[in-house]
Amino acid sequence: MHQTKYRGIITEGRIIDVSSLGAGLLGYF
Q: Which percentage of the chain shows pLDDT scores above 90?
A: 0
Rounded mean pLDDT of 10-28? 63
13 backbone φψ class: left, alpha, beta (φ>0; ψ -120 to 50):
left
Number of domain units in the chain: 1
Half-sphere exposure (Cβ direction) of 10: Cα atoms closer than 13 Å: 4
For residue 11, the enclosing domain spans 1-29
The span from the CA of 22 to the CA of 11, in Å, is: 14
Helix (H) or strand (E) run with residue 28 in it: helix 21-28
Statement: the pTM of the whole predicted model exceeds 0.75: no
Supply the pLDDT for residue 4: 53
CB-based contact 25:11 (threshold 8 Å):
no
